[in-house]
Amino acid sequence: MATRSLYLYSPLGAHSKHPSSRWRDLLCSPVRCTAILLIIAASLTSIGFLSLEWPSWGAPVPGAPSVFTPPPTAESELEGIIIPPHQPEVVEDLEELVPETEILEGTLYHPFHPPSPSSPLRLASQTVRPIRAQAALSDACADKWVSTGLWTEPCRHSMVQDSRVDLVWVWVNGSDPLHAAARQSLLATTHYKTKEARFREHDELRYSLRAARAATRGWPNATWHVVTADVPAPGVEDGVDTNIANGGSGAADINIASRKSEDSNQRRLGLVPQWLDIECAFYGCPEGDEQAPPIRLQHDAQLFRLTGKPGAALQGEEAEEWLGKILPSFNSHAVESQLPHLDPDTVSDNIVALNDDQFMLLPLPPSAFHTPLYGPVFRIDPGLLVGGDSSGSADGGGEWRSLGWSAHLLNGRFGTRKRPYMHHNARALSLPLMHEAALAFGAEFAATPLSQFRGSHTVAGEFEVNTIFLSTHYVIERHREALLWAWVVAKWGDARGSLDRAAKGAMWRELGGAEENSSFTLGKAERRTENDVEVNMLMAGLQPPRAEDKEAQADTTYSWVSMDGYSANFHSLAARIDVRRECIGEDAEPAWDMFRRLLKDDTACGDNTIAALIHNSRSGLDVFLPPPSAHPAAPSPDEPIILPLELPQHAPPLPTNPRAFAVRLLLRYAYVLGDSPTIFMGMKTLAQTERLLKDADSRKDVALLCINDDLGNGSQVKANALLRWWFESRWPEKLPCEV
């Protein structure tokens, strides 16, 4: 195999001497002024479109070999999921959903009854979910957008809205007396040791929410969700001595580990931020002339759903056995593995996932995290690459065991490579695609909560999944898969199913190869995407993520968009390779076999194939797509909406309309690699904490901040006082739902 170099072509914007100059020119250019005038004109004709409800479309998980169809008519149903229109949430009998409260020894809790272990609600939905904003686009608009990369007719008069983006926090108050007692009881039973810093409370959540309110004011129809820990309600009926609520001795009074799984549907107490008026928060308190986003509490025991291998028919008894092994859980990896099961009736497709120690420091538009055109905005660290590791030898108390295991799973599905770490800060995620990833790796997601504390379960093959890392790279890899499937199977395989020597010769020529050569060298791709991004967003009526005043609004750069293929930011490409012989081949073979080879067996060939095709056009992905059919047949309602979750050895049936399928597939997995000024602050000593906080104050353009507690026990008291003082000085304005 030939030597490899880092880039075959430059990332978006990298070739400019002054990366911001083109953007700055664009802000004041006649193009933008024209776009704004067109937006005003188009908006007059788009009111009817904005009032339409989302069409519902979907299909069962493709356990059997099958592929995708464009969305059926709006009358079709998506089993088990209600898709609301894109408008403020309206819930009937809202009063019945308002959380109750209970006070024990001065501490407020939210009492609730989780689903019983054997309930069907304990089994994950097997229905692959559509992305509602994309389903609202007409087939003609979707085709034009994906094929050209330009928001022109017939899309221009179909104005879209800024993405509805919900914020989701995962929070635990380790100082809560019931939680601390339950935790210590399980530690004593399992003889496991964990860092108390993981559960230490600095009142971060209050200020993370205050910061988010200042940063996201004006986001359309957002709801905030706080996923909190829960504990069994003290009482004889739960096998728990009630004296823990009355000043009892603590851990010895609660024998959590011996509770039977059938008791886990008994009344539980959800932890509640003691400063939060949860009834006011539930409705969304008035805030001057505005309404603050509603804040909904959800608890760990409500979220846990059993998943299995794709297509597996799970039973309630299996869920009951599983819950008996995993509850109670004190593992943030386990809780995050259940975020894909957040209720799509109440949580938007687009979320920003935060820990309570993560803060937004400046106002950000929704496009800093999501847009209907370009998808979620992933913030990666290309300098920190994660390789697959199935050994479980890495530190399980931190992230690295879960990261290595997740990378190993991705290698097995999509081919071996190193993948970049996700910045440990607010992360953009697609809930439907997280759910899809949890179904694709269902057995591994189900094994993650077997570690009741982080790193505590060390059985080979049952390590913890890093949900954020795996879900993000799942999207990136599925988009790459869609590109290769569209070109090899849908375009060149087509009805033939097999590629003969003549077809392979034509494929070689389309890559840009000459008859007399078997390899070629590519220079820089002359793509126009960099100049098109902001114009497209303005034409669609969206606020671009770039800031003119970087101290008044956080500045976000789209350094790469999937409209340019597969990112060269974080993988190596072969600088010299016999593309014709090693990648295309000269012998006849089934199109599906070639697709599998380029996808998984030889990732360098797949990467070079994508890069070569991208070089042959200036915008859009039309070169990958099969030609449109003059008389496309109506799709069957039984055709699923995605390629199989597991890569089958033999080709599944072609969809009825291969081009429409490929378009929708590429749109589904669209994504952005974005950059915003961020700080990760690892606190180890008091002096270091003070220095880092001063540094954060001095940097006026920082968008995102994470303050990670790694303090020793000797300095945590003074550091806690320092942090609380800094939080209050930075965000003194209370939320309207604070008591």
735 falls within a domain:
no
Q: Are 711 and 255 a contacting pair, CB within 8 Å?
A: no
pLDDT of residue 262: 40
CA distance 376 to 6: 25
83 falls within a domain:
no
pLDDT of residue 97: 63
Host domain of residue 527: 4-77+478-673
CA distance 183 to 200: 13
pLDDT of residue 718: 86
Which residue bears the tokens 């942090």? Answer: 723
Listed residue (91, 76, 88) closest to 135, CA to CA: 76
pTM: 0.86
Q: Are 269 and 111 a contacting pair, CB within 8 Å?
A: yes
418 falls within a domain:
no
How many structural domains comprise the chain?
Answer: 2
Q: Are 297 and 272 a contacting pair, CB within 8 Å?
A: yes
**Backbone phi and psi for residue 384, each to the nearest 5 degrees, phi listed first:** -125, 95
Q: Do 331 and 243 belong together in one domain?
A: yes
pLDDT of residue 568: 60
pLDDT of residue 492: 95
Q: Do 114 and 204 belong together in one domain?
A: yes
From 673, 701, 719, the end of a domain falls on: 673
Q: Do 548 and 666 belong together in one domain?
A: yes
CA distance 686 to 472: 35
Q: Do 613 and 688 belong together in one domain?
A: no
Contacts of 100 (CB under 8 A, 6+ apart): 110, 111, 112
179 falls within a domain:
yes
307 falls within a domain:
yes
Specify which residues 352 forms β-bridges with. 167, 428
Q: Do 632 and 715 belong together in one domain?
A: no
Q: Are 557 and 674 a contacting pair, CB within 8 Å?
A: yes
Q: Do 608 and 642 belong together in one domain?
A: yes
Q: Are 446 and 307 a contacting pair, CB within 8 Å?
A: yes
388 falls within a domain:
no
From 633, 657, 673, the end of a domain falls on: 673
Q: Do 256 and 111 belong together in one domain?
A: yes
CA distance 611 to 5: 14
Q: Do 101 and 17 belong together in one domain?
A: no
Listed residue (700, 701, 682) closest to 691, CA to CA: 682
CA distances from 197 to 50, 346, 683, 710 (A): 48, 32, 11, 6
Q: Is the CA virtual torsion 224, 229, 234, 237 positive or negative?
A: positive
Q: Do 246 and 339 belong together in one domain?
A: yes
Q: Do 227 and 364 belong together in one domain?
A: yes
pLDDT of residue 87: 39
716 falls within a domain:
yes
Q: Is the CA virtual torsion 153, 154, 155, 157 positive or negative?
A: positive
Q: Please give the structure tokens belonging to residue 485.
A: 């499937």
Q: Are 383 and 235 a contacting pair, CB within 8 Å?
A: no
415 falls within a domain:
no
CA distances from 543 to 197, 514, 556, 607, 636 (A): 40, 44, 12, 32, 38
Specify which residues 231 forms β-bridges with. 269
Listed residue (165, 161, 128, 160) closest to 145, CA to CA: 160
Q: Are 328 and 452 a contacting pair, CB within 8 Å?
A: yes
From 673, 696, 720, the end of a domain falls on: 673
350-355 and 427-430 strand pairing: antiparallel
Q: Do 483 and 556 belong together in one domain?
A: yes
Q: Do 644 and 684 belong together in one domain?
A: no
Block means of pLDDT (10 residues each) for the chain, 739 residues, are 34 39 40 47 41 36 38 34 36 58 92 91 94 92 96 83 92 91 92 78 93 94 95 61 37 38 67 93 83 93 95 93 94 97 96 96 96 96 94 93 98 96 96 98 98 95 98 98 97 85 92 80 81 93 93 94 81 65 90 96 92 91 92 79 96 93 97 96 88 94 92 78 94 94
Which residue bears the tokens 């789209």? Answer: 558
